[in-house]
Amino acid sequence: MERTIWDVARQQFFEAAELTDLDDDLKEILSQCNRDLTVRFPVCMDDGSIRVFEGYRVQHNQARGPTKGGIRFSPEVTLDEVRALAMWMTWKTAVVKIPYGGAKGGVICDPHNMSLGELENLTRRYATEISIIVGREKDIPAPDVNTNPQIMAWFMDTLSMRSGFSDTGVVTGKPVEIGGSLGRLDATSRGCLYVAEEALRERGETLEGKTVAIQGFGNAGSFAASLFARAGARVVAVCDSQGGVYNSSGLDVDRLMRLKQESTTMAEYPDGDRVDPKQLLEQPCDILIPAAVEDQITEANADRIQARIVVEAANGPTTPEADRILNERGVTVLPDVLANAGGVTVSYFEWVQDLGSFFWDEERVYRELKRVMTAAYRDMSAELARLQGLHGPRINHRQAAYVLAIQRVARATQLRGIYP
C-alpha cells in the first residue's frame, strides 16, 4: 500500500516519541485523531446544476485547549491529508505555547474553476455542515491553501446567522473590518523571518546579502519574498505551481508582487532563467523556503539541495528520508511546526482580541509575535542541544521541536487524566 502523508505524520510522531519517556498508552492516544468528520453536501452552481462536494474537519487533540487549524480548498484534499495537517497543528500550537489543540479542514474542489458566487455557496454550506463540531470555544478554523479573508468572512457570517449574534471569535483570518487582526495576512511569513534571523544569529550571521529561493507564491511565499527582501536578503528564485524564475543577481520583489496582483504566473517574470517548481528547490541559494504543499523535498532530490538553511513555510514539505539526508549534509531544516507557526500565533491574537473586543495596533501584534517566535526558537534550540548531548548529532531540529511539543501535550493529558 502506498504511504500517505498521514503515515508520514505518524512516523514523525513515533520517532520523536522514542526520544521521550512517554509510556505506550500516551503514545497510543497522541498518535490518533480524536474526531474525523466527513461531510457530503450539495451546492447550486451558476448554470443551475447541483454538485455534491466532499469535505472534512478533523480534530486531533484538545488537551491544551480548543482545537485550531485552517481550511483548504483543493482537488488534492484527502481525509488522510487533513488528519496529518490536524496532528501537525497540535505540535505547532504546543511549540509556540499557545493554548490550542490541533485541527484541520478541507473540501475537495477546484476553486480556480469556480465563480465567486459558487465559492460563497460552497463555503456557507460547508460551514453549516461542520458547525456541529466548530465553535469559538471548541474548534476555530482559519485560512489555509486557497482560502482567504473573504472566505473567512462568509464562514463567520454563516455561523453568526445560526447563533443569532455576530460571532467573530468563531474563525480567524477575517478581514480587519469585521474582527480580523492587523498583521494576520503576513504573519506566517513574518514568523519565518523571525526564526530564520534567530538561526542566523546563533551562527553569528545576519540576513544581509543572503540569497533566498522560495517555492510557492501564495500567501506565505509572496509575503516571505517581500519581508526577507526588506530585511536585507536577496531573493534569487521564486515560483508558483505553473513555474518560476531564477536570477543570481536578484529579483525585483515589487514587480513579483505586481504580477501576483494581476494573477500572472511567476514564470512570466521577464528577467532570468525559467525554473519549474521542482527545479526551484535545487537552485543555488543560502536559504530555501518551501512555501507550497507537502512532499516536495524527498530522498529523490535532498542531496541536490544547495541551501544551508531550509525554512518550512509550507506544512510537511520534507519527508523523513529527506530530513535524514539533509541532516547528514549539515543542512539546517527549521521545521514547519516552528517556522510557520506565526500564522496560528497571530490567529490566536485575533481570537483574544475578538473575545475581549479590544483591538491592538500593528506594532503590538509584531512585538508579541516576535516574542512568541523567538522564545519558541530558543526552547527548540535548548532541547536540540539536550537531545544531541544524549543521542549525538543525528538528532535534528524537527525532532527537537516535536519532543518539546509532545511533552507539553502529554503533560496536559496527564494533568487532566483519562475521563471517566
What positions carry a catalytic annotation? 104
Residue 360 to residue 173: CA distance in whole angstroms = 15
Range in contact with ligand GLU (rule: CB under 6 A) among 149-157, 294-302, 339-347, 393-401: 339-347
List all residues 6 or more positions away from 226 whose beta carbon is below 8 Å from its beta carbon: 186, 253, 254, 257
Residue 178 to residue 167: CA distance in whole angstroms = 10
Nearer to ligand GLU among residue 82 and residue 259 (C-beta) = 82
Range in contact with ligand GLU (rule: CB under 6 A) among 111-119, 336-344, 394-402, 412-420: 336-344
Of 12, 189, 215, 340, the one binding ligand GLU (CB under 6 A) is 340
Going across the sheet that includes 309-311, the strands are: 273-275, 243-246, 234-240, 211-215, 287-290, 309-311, 332-334
Range in contact with ligand GLU (rule: CB under 6 A) among 47-55, 66-74, 324-332, 372-380: 66-74
Give the SS3 label for residue 245: strand
For the bound state, the minimum distance from the C-beta of residue 205 to ligand GLU, rounded and expressed in Å, comes to 27
Range in contact with ligand GLU (rule: CB under 6 A) among 68-76, 108-116, 226-234, 389-397: 68-76
Query: Cell numbers 451546492 correspond to what residue?
Result: 43
70 touches ligand GLU by CB under 6 A: yes
Residue 78 to residue 97: CA distance in whole angstroms = 29
90 touches ligand GLU by CB under 6 A: no
Of 183, 186, 343, 366, the one binding ligand GLU (CB under 6 A) is 343
Size of the site for ligand GLU (CB under 6 A): 11
315 touches ligand GLU by CB under 6 A: yes
Residue 395 to residue 20: CA distance in whole angstroms = 13
For the bound state, the minimum distance from the C-beta of residue 149 to ligand GLU, rounded and expressed in Å, comes to 12
Give the DSSP letter of residue 203. T
For the bound state, the minimum distance from the C-beta of residue 225 to ligand GLU, rounded and expressed in Å, comes to 18
Nearest Cα neighbor of 76 from 262, 282, 221, 241 is 241
Per DSSP (E only), the strands in 160-286 are 211-215, 234-240, 243-246, 273-275
Range in contact with ligand GLU (rule: CB under 6 A) among 39-47, 63-71, 372-380, 382-390: 63-71
61 touches ligand GLU by CB under 6 A: no
Residues 162-181 that bind ligand GLU (CB under 6 A): 172
Give the relative orientation of helices 116-130 and 149-163 as an angle to the nearest 10 degrees: 50
Nearer to ligand GLU among residue 191 and residue 277 (C-beta) = 191
Q: Quote the radius of gyration of the chain (alpha carbons, Å).
A: 20
The pattern of x and - marking residues 124 through 143 that bind ligand GLU according to CB under 6 A reads ------------------x-
317 touches ligand GLU by CB under 6 A: no
Of 57, 60, 68, 234, the one binding ligand GLU (CB under 6 A) is 68
85 sits in the region (left: phi over 0; alpha: psi -120 to 50; else beta) called alpha
By CB under 6 A, name the binding residues for ligand GLU: 68-70, 142, 144, 172, 315, 340, 343-344, 347
